[in-house]
Structure 1
Amino acid sequence: MIMTPRRTKIIIIFIFALMFSVFAPFYYVNRLVWAFDEARNATILKIQYTKEKEIVETVTFFIHSVTFSIFSFVFVILCTVVLIVKLNSKTKWRKATAAKGANTAEGVGVKDKMVVKMVTFISSIFIICFVPGTLIFLFMALEPEFSHGGRYKNIYFVVWSFSFVMETVNSSVNIFVYLKMSSKYRAVFMKTFLRKEEK
């Protein structure tokens, strides 16, 4: 009811416009220009930097990599907590309603518990895997020497390598979580890829 197709389109367009407006100044200060290269004796495309490059890149980096990254991280945590609380209250209500009837349904709330467990697990994987990247961006904003050309470049490359591995893990394990915890996903997966009907 909340995420209707119309609202989804509006949100996607808004996100695109926001990201475009954040990165437009970056491309303005890093321009592509035609320039004569003496070594090649030809006119080629080169990047030309403007004098505002440093300040624009600093602001762009802070908005995109620090602010947006931390906001999305906190937003996922809040949405997960709200979803778990709502599902748990729904389960309690169903149990209370079933208890008032003549025959108490023993399976009431089992599906909701599985959903809570799966959502918590998926969100936990996301949070754990994206903590390093978020912390790295934050540290980069606080310490300018922590960059690919700075004094701490060796540590920079090591921690980013670890962060990329963690992000890869996050992208890779979700399918196995859904296969294990979601009967509908498993049934569709088996039917689509293995041509088997799950009993």
Structure 2
Amino acid sequence: MEEDNSTRYPALNEITDNPFHLLENYSNDSSMLTLASGFLSDEQFYIIHLIIIYTSQLINICAIIANSLSVAVFVKLGFSEPSNISLTALAICDFTLAMLLTWSNLCFWLTYHNVPLPFHGANVSFLTGGDHWAFLSSTVAWITAFISFERCLCILFPLKVRRLITPRGTFVAMLIIILLTFCPSFFMYIRYKFVWEFNPYQNVTILNTIPVNSEFVILFEKIYLVIYGVIQPLLAFLIVLICTVLLVVQLRKISFWRLSVTSAKRQRVQPEEYPAGSSSASGARISPKEESLVRKVVAIAIIFIVSYTPICIMIICYVALDEYNAFGVYRRLFVVSAYITSLGQPISGSVNILIYYKMASKFRSVFRRLVRLDRQEQERHELK
């Protein structure tokens, strides 16, 4: 006899407006319903979902460890350099992202295995984890945009910008970005509220969330999601992309300038391509320290672009397709793609520490002392 999925997945199917609900369809379009039925069965949905969750948890652990070490190193380095402040803010946000994803994954895993919880795993974790993760992703995007834009200005207008980019100014900029991008995530508590409901499967009262369906709140949510869920992340991504292209072009000019100087046998002549006093010439003659920092920022930005592109594609699909959301015909595809795209940023956060270690000698030195690599190498050398 064929197994009834409603008994196999009772914890997820108990509330019909649950984004993980599998048995009901909310579309009135029969043609779309027929098309969507062949996408993912219940079995395929959960197998893919669980594989992604296990993979995500492993990546999240790596991101938590990596960003914890990055913050510890930057604290030891101090914050006299503005770049250390912005990179520390980036590491803290990446750490928090990984923690939120870990919480959401854990709640879903426990719900899937029918572990009794004092709250509704999927709904509560969405409001306390997934929602904040989405907004914090935008915060990471804007911090990366700020870092890239600041490096562009430092190369194009070095004499003017260095007076403006100070540790205090960078700290204030980080606070403003967090206030404008992450703090609005708490507005979702206007749209949803916590309630105590009786759960017949556990025979206990558990904490759950329900939507507030007043016309004003629904209109507020639509405007709110367009601004903070669509416009804001896409604009940040565009700024990072443009600034990264400008930085790469400038690095190529720097390499050409160095090659011209070498071919001129170290004579003190101004390459013809860069007239004296031009911004290109001043940019080409940046110090090796500045050039190393630019290369580090370019590497961070490229990794961010690669990891954030799937999120931007998902946002565009969410806007373009009416049924591509947590409650539409394509909700299974939406949930799976959301989990897959969420893997990008923990990976990015885990890889950043390798960039710092490879491209920053001070970071590498403090990191090695922090994890006692230098002492271990010295002890091995003494034993030999």
Q: Normalized against structure 1, the TM-score is what? A: 0.71
Closer, same or farther: CA 21–164 of 1 in aligned 2, 3 Å: closer
Matched with 1:173 is: 351
Partner of 1:51: 214
Cα offset, 1:58, TM superposition: 1.9
109-118 vs 75-84, greater mean Cα deviation? 109-118
Counterpart Cα distance in 2 of 1:4 and 1:195? 33
Q: Quick one: distance in 2 between partners of 1:155 and 1:87?
A: 41
1:60 aligns with 2:224: yes
Name which of 201, 218, 243 aligns with 1:79: 243
Shift of 1:161: 2.1
Give, in angstroms, the shift of residue 64 of structure 1: 1.0
Q: What is the SS of the residue equivalent to 2:327? A: coil
Cα deviation code 1:6-40 (max 9, x no counterpart): 3234323433443478556543343457x897x89
Worse-matched range after superposition: 85-94 or 176-185: 85-94
Gaps of at least 5 residues in structure 1 are 102-107
Matches of 1:5 and 1:120 in 2, distance apart? 21
Q: Which digits, 9 at most, give the CA deviation of each residue in 1:60-88, with x for residues without a partner?
A: 11111211111111122233234444555
C-alpha contact (below 8 Å) 1:26/1:56 kept by paired residues: no
Shift of 1:151: 0.4
Contact 2:192 2:209 in 1 (8 A): no
Q: What are the within-5 Å matches in structure 2 for residues 101-180 of structure 1?
A: 114-180=292-358
Q: In 2, distance between residues paired with 1:187 and 1:21?
A: 36
Shift of 1:45: 8.5
> Secondary structure at the residue paired with 2:322?
coil
- How many residues were matched structurally? 190
Cα RMSD (Å):
3.9
Letter in 2 for 1:11: A
Between stretches 182-191 and 85-94, larger displacement belongs to 85-94
Q: Secondary structure at the match of 2:343?
A: helix
Percent identity between matched residues is: 25
Whether the 8 Å contact between 1:179 and 1:185 is mirrored in structure 2 is yes
3-state DSSP class of the match of 1:196? helix
In the alignment, residue 158 of structure 1 is paired with which amino acid?
V
Between the aligned partners of 2:321 and 2:214, the Cα distance in structure 1 is 22
From the superposition, tell whether residues 157 and 187 of structure 1 become closer, same or farther in structure 2 (CA, over 3 Å).
same
